[in-house]
Amino acid sequence: MNLQFDDTIVALASAPGAGAAGLIRISGREILPCLSACFDAETDWQQSTRSQRYPGTLQLAGSETRLPGALYYWPTSRSFTGQPLAEFHTVSSPPLLEAAIEQIASRGARMARPGEFTLRAFLAGRVDLMQAEAVLGVIDAHDHEELNLALSQLAGGVSTRIGRARIELLELLAELEAGLDFVEEDIEFIDRVTLVTRLEGIREFCEQLYADSAQRMESTGSLSLVLAGLPNAGKSTLYNALVGDAEAALVSDIAGTTRDYLVTPLKWKGQSIHLIDTAGLETGAHEISVSAQNFRQAQTQQADLVVWCTAADLTPELRVEDRRQRDQLAAVRNVLTVRTKCDLSPAPVEAHSIEADLEISVAEGTGLEALQDQILERLSETHRGGRHLIGSTASRCRESLRAAGESLGAAEEAAELQLGEELVAIEIRESLQHLGQIVGQVYTDDILDRIFSKFCIGK
């Protein structure tokens, strides 16, 4: 990859095809002669030293026709690319935009390569590597959650935290090396307890990001919603109601009808969900029963949210068992408790003593809309709270995060066992190397090629 970017580049930065507006982006050290030959405005914009909007026209290639619009001009290195940058905004058809780009190219610019504008921003230090990847994350976002995650990464949320971790490690390294310079005088610049505590905090942060990256690698973009509960709790009936198909799952008054699990992809208010109906939670030595319970356990372990169905007509004995099983599951999973079959409750006073987040009756059609809203709210909280990295960043950084965590763990162990400050310092330098690779302080041409080749032209 050629990392010399002094020439002027041009590209269409708006979406291809007909649209309400078009955007042409130009960047380069020698952008001014190119623009002066193509763009006409009433004000003397060439002498500007600050960013501003200039109404005017852009000449089209092969004719005297001029395309009306507005030029946004950043003449200094404070632009996105770290060099003079201009964007021409206009309302026009694709052929006219292409003619405008041809005219700019004939005046000394060349067509930009995929991701070259963002690559220039990275090399100029305007964004780090994680923020550069977030630009692509914004473009490729499939829903609001993916978009918000990419925007958060683009704003530098994770980068800032990694930057703080690197600064703290550099401070620890400086204190350790200062101690090594005075080793014969027995001067301690940082005590062991403080060193171990600070290393532990940074290690836990790296391990948290590593766990997130692993989860992102396994994610399909859809969230998993599992219906669970005791046998005959109304799970299959609820499943059919949420799917909108009365025959999607077999419904029977006989307990234990569901032996396998059913999966249906849904789209609720823009959120992709995999709705899963499982067998009722029971014990049994029969091979089919054991298999059903294994399926159920596997699905609940991977669920983003479990809707626990508690039938309103449970006997007192089953009510105790239901609460025990639900509490056991809630200790390790995100659980939403729903009291089902409210229309069949034989003892309203006793039934209302059942702890539940919501009450529904599929037969009467009550509570289903509130249940969907509650499910989306819970899934949104889980998805938003547990994600820090977009998928492409998670894939690239996973090994670096693992290695950084291991180096910090080794440094922590060496400090606890008092094996020598030089050994602790070696492991800290190793972790700094890995964290530097994540934010782009350390990079290779191959890494940049792999990342920016995924971009479209104009970004």
Angle at Cα 410 formed by Cα 408 and Cα 413, nearest 5°? 110
In the annotated binding site for (6S)-5-formyl-5,6,7,8-tetrahydrofolate, the residues are: 25, 87, 126, 459
- Annotate 375-399 with DSSP letters as a single string: HHHHHHHHHHHT--S-HHHHHHHHH
Dmax (CA) for the chain in angstroms is 89
Task: Write phi, then psi, for 34 (nearest 5 degrees).
Answer: -65, -50
Beta-carbon contacts of 294 under 8 Å, excluding residues fewer than 6 positions away, are: none
Q: What are 275's strand-pairing partners?
A: 225, 264
Beta-carbon contacts of 234 under 8 Å, excluding residues fewer than 6 positions away, are: 309, 311, 340, 341, 362
3-class DSSP assignment, residue 114 = coil
Strand locations in 222-319, DSSP E?
Answer: 223-229, 262-268, 271-277, 305-311
**In whole angstroms, how far apart are CA 260 and each of 2, 186, 257, 274, 300?**
56, 68, 9, 16, 14
**Distance in angstroms (rounded) separating the CA atoms of residues 216 and 234:** 33
Task: For residue 392, give both structure tokens.
Answer: 């492409």
In the annotated binding site for GTP, the residues are: 232-237, 252-258, 277-280
**Residue 296 one-letter amino acid:** R
Which one, of 124, 206, 163, 132, lies nearest residue 393 by Cα? 132
In the annotated binding site for Mg(2+), the residues are: 236, 258
**Distance in angstroms (rounded) separating the CA atoms of residues 425 and 404:** 14
In the annotated binding site for K(+), the residues are: 232, 252, 254, 257
In the annotated binding site, the residues are: 25, 87, 126, 232-237, 252-258, 277-280, 459
Token pair 């390569």 in the structure block, residue: 113
**Distance in angstroms (rounded) separating the CA atoms of residues 36 and 44:** 10
Reported as type and span, the H/E element at residue 74 is strand 66-74
**In whole angstroms, how far apart are CA 323 and each of 157, 316, 415?**
40, 11, 46
Under 8 Å between Cβ of 308 and 329:
yes
Under 8 Å between Cβ of 70 and 10:
no
Task: Write phi, then psi, for 214 (nearest 5 degrees).
Answer: -65, -40
Task: For residue 297, give both structure tokens.
Answer: 């356990």
